[in-house]
Amino acid sequence: MADQTPNTTDAPDTGYACIQGYLRTLSGAPGVYRMLDAQARVLYVGKARNLKARVSNYARPGHSPRIERMIRETASMMFLTTRTETEALLLEQNLIKQLKPKYNVLLRDDKSFPNILVAKDHPFAQIKKHRGAKKEKGTYFGPFASAGAVNRTLNQLQKAFLLRNCTDAVFDSRTRPCLLYQIKRCSGPCVGLISETDYAAAVKDAERFLSGRSTRVQEELAEQMMAASQAMEFERAAALRDRIRALTTVQGAQGINPRGVAEADVVALHLENGQACVQVFFIRANQNWGNRDFYPRVGEDVSAAEVMEAFLGQFYDNKEPPRQLILSDAIENADLMTEALSEKAGRKVELLVPQRGEKAELVSGALRNARESLARRMSESATQAKLLRGLAEAFDLDGPPQRIEVYDNSHIQGTNAVGGMIVAGPEGFMKNQYRKFNIRGDDLTPGDDFGMMKEVLTRRFTRLLKEDPDRDKGLWPDLLLIDGGTGQVSAVQEIMVAHGVEDIPMVGVAKGIDRDHGKEEFHRIGQRPFALKRNDPVLYFIQRLRDEAHRFAIGSHRAKRAKAVGATPLDDIPGVGVARKRALLAHFGSAKAVSRADLADLTAVEGVSEGLAQKIYDFFHES
């Protein structure tokens, strides 16, 4: 890969002439180009099989209005040549996700999807939900469209196969069966109520079911039920009957289960009025494992082929593609995308645009969902826009805010204190922008809400000034909502003045008389508190924002508190990870007993070398 950035001082100012100035320096190699404005902000990132031919296309008039605007704003260009066209495609998608150019189609919601993991690092395998890198030893099934889809499937699988979901630490500490055994969701392997062989057979059945071989599993269970019934083992027969019912429930909950599609993602796109919705259905093991909708940022005159290609490149950038992608719209560079995805997956990946048959019916269903989802979103966006206009009017803002930041704190008598920031805008809550702040101030009085808010805002704006000093990345708020009254607003005002930020409106939302919903008072610097009418939609909107900030702060606090409850001094010793911590606690019974152990006792623990034993001993005896 080679960088070819011509000398921009020779290039004319902007537009067609600027682009034409680069043509004499370009070769016919494949690569990626960037178009920049006069402030060197990236306007567009594109790939080309032949850079010179592609750029010369921009140097001639006759483009869509969107491209014409982009060309007029272009003041310079940058180029990277690549060895292959496929490499150019991958680089283009990486740069789009990283730089978020103004004129590119951009996938904004790109979270990972959950899987079901049958963990195999223990004699009695654990079945659980897994999200993220597949580092644990075991068998993975997925992806599922949502955590809810995984939880529902896990719930029924527990009924059907009685597999444990407890952690290894809980498993090793049990002396009698837990509640899950009592309600027939687990076979009790922790206390020896099932043999390792029988449990392994249940694990194998669960894996076969998740792999799509469910019919055979149910047939075998039915045979066992009949045999138990004939042997007058009615309790065992009833348990097997319940397992068969649970499997049937799983299959029913998975909706449309295509017979002729074993492993595929169905991707359907609907474009309307400059907005787009992409529906993705996940088909694995001939079963529908749910769907998710996405709303990529698009322009008014983009084609379906351009949106689909951009979506596929960005969506599968950090996900393993299935064997087939069943699409509603063909893409221009299908050969490059097929090659790139096949290379990523380490096997052949097909791109299909079916016209008839079962696959076409799947696309039709996904398209219907995309159309309905976009209609709902456009309706919600119109309502949101009206609320933002009402908010601007209520608080005398210059215009409807595009980014509202709401802050709240949560703690119990000052312990495990956490500050939360939620963000909302024209499209509702922007959850990927939420932030939590672990309160660090050692000099704070326990329960000092003013001090906590000062610390949170100081850290927020210190970082903001560093990350976006020119305020051109969309990270600066247009309105701050603070949970509290005059005191909190004054504390925030001090922080803003100290950082030289005095042009951002802020409002304190305080509970009114009797701390009742509908009687909130709003506090602003230099103005008297006021209230909105009880039935004002803007008031309900503010309440919803405040309640979301409260929910997020409390959730972060509870997570921190739960983590602290399970924490021990062993967590602070370098080289002592989860496995060794578990081994030490199992051997000695408590962290306090570990602290009293001598070197000989420490080295007797499995996995603890003499060097690590010395580290542990020194950690507790240095003073």
Q: How would you classify the pairing of strands 506-510 and 479-483?
A: parallel
Whole-number pLDDT of residue 570:
78
Share of the chain above pLDDT 90, in %: 37
**Model confidence over 118-160: pLDDT tens digits?**
998 899 999 999 988 888 899 998 888 888 888 888 887 888 7
Examine the pLDDT at 48 and tell me if it is beyond 80.
Answer: yes
**Band (215; pLDDT cuts 50, 70, 90):** low
Q: 4 pLDDT exceeds 90? A: no
Q: Which two tokens stand for residue 485?
A: 């009254």
220-245 pLDDT, tens digit each: 777 778 887 777 777 767 777 776 77
Q: Over 368-423, what HEC string results?
A: HHHHHHHHHHHHHHHHHHHHHHHHHHHCCCCCCCCCEEEEEEEEECCEEEEEEEEE
Report pLDDT for 542.
Answer: 92
What does residue 492 show for φ and ψ, rounded to 5 degrees? -65, -40
Q: What is the SS3 assignment for 147-189? A: HHHHHHHHHHHHHHHCCCCCCHHHHHHCCCCCHHHHCCCCCCH
Confidence grade of residue 406 (pLDDT, cut at 50, 70, 90):
very high
What average pLDDT does the segment 294-319 reach? 91
Higher pLDDT, 519 or 412: 519
How would DSSP label each residue in 294-311?
E--B--TT--HHHHHHHH
Q: Please, which pLDDT band fits residue 285 given cuts at 50, 70 and 90?
A: confident
Task: Please report, as a single letter, which amino acid is at residue 190.
Answer: C
Residue 253 in this model has a pLDDT that exceeds 60: no
Does residue 262 have a pLDDT over 60?
A: yes
pLDDT band (50, 70, 90) for residue 7:
very low
Tokens of 15: 């537009």
Residues composing the chain? 623
Average pLDDT over residues 462-474: 86
More confident residue, 305 or 578: 305
Is residue 120 within 8 A of residue 200, CB to CB? The reply is: no
Question: For residue 86, what are its two tokens?
Answer: 């496929």
Least confident of 244-248, 252-256, 609-613: 252-256
Q: Are 15 and 72 in contact (CB under 8 A)?
A: yes
CA–CA dist 198, 531 (Å, integer): 67
Q: How confident is the model at residue 567 (pLDDT cuts 50, 70, 90)?
A: low
Nearest to 492 by CA among 535, 469, 459: 459
Classify residue 111 by burial, with Cβ atoms within 10 Å: 0-12, 13-18, 19+.
Answer: exposed
- Interatomic CA distance for residues 53 and 29, integer angstroms: 10
Q: And the tokens for 84? A: 């292959």
Query: Quick check: 412 pLDDT over 70?
Result: no
Q: What is the mean pLDDT of residues 2-9?
A: 49
Is pLDDT of 205 > 80?
yes
- Rounded to 5°, the CA angle 425-431-434 comes to 95
pLDDT tens by residue, 58-96? 998 888 888 999 999 999 999 999 999 999 999 999 999
Alpha-carbon distance of 160 to 244, in angstroms, equals 7
Question: Taking residues 291-309, what's their average pLDDT?
Answer: 91
Please report how the helices 147-161 and 234-253 are oriented relative to each other, as an axis angle in degrees rounded to 10: 160
d(CA 421, CA 432): 11
Ramachandran assignment for 53, one of left (phi > 0), alpha (psi -120 to 50 degrees), beta (any other): alpha
Say if CB 35 and CB 75 are below 8 A apart. Answer: no
Give the pLDDT confidence score for residue 3 in this predicted structure.
57
Mean of the pLDDT values across residues 342-363?
Answer: 93
Cβ atoms of 453 and 461 within 8 Å: the answer is no
Half-sphere exposure of 325 (CA within 13 A, CB side): 28
Cα separations in angstroms, 346 against 233, 273, 343: 50, 39, 5
Residues 109, 136: Cα–Cα separation, whole Å: 26
Most confident segment among 3-7, 29-33, 510-514, 528-532: 29-33
| pLDDT > 80? residue 313 | yes
Q: Among 150-159, 231-240, 261-270, 483-492, which stretch is predicted with the lowest mean pLDDT?
A: 231-240
Other residues' Cβ atoms within 10 Å of the Cβ of residue 300 = 11
CA distance 212 to 199: 20
Between 70 and 214, where is the model more confident?
70
pLDDT exceeds cutoff 70 at 388: yes
Average pLDDT, the chain: 85
Per-residue pLDDT, averaged over 341-345, amounts to: 92
Mean pLDDT in residue range 426-442: 85
E strand spans, 83-143? 115-119, 126-130, 138-141
**Pairing of the two strands 404-412 and 479-483:** parallel
Helix, strand or coil, per DSSP, at residue 267: strand
* Domains of the chain with bracketed CATH: 2-99 (3.40.1440.10), 115-253 (no CATH), 263-301+321-375 (3.10.20), 404-563 (3.30.420.340), 569-621 (1.10.150.20)
Residue 151 Cα distances to 138, 147, 211, 244, 342, angstroms = 19, 6, 18, 19, 31
Residue 622 pLDDT > 70: no
Q: Residue 268: its pLDDT value, please?
A: 96
Q: Tell me the angle at which helices 486-498 and 449-467 cross, rounded to the nearest 10 degrees.
A: 30
More reliable by pLDDT, 219 or 533:
533
- pLDDT band for position 9 (50/70/90)? very low
pLDDT of residue 623: 47
Residue 517's pLDDT band (cuts 50, 70, 90): low
Residue with the two structure tokens 């009790």: 188
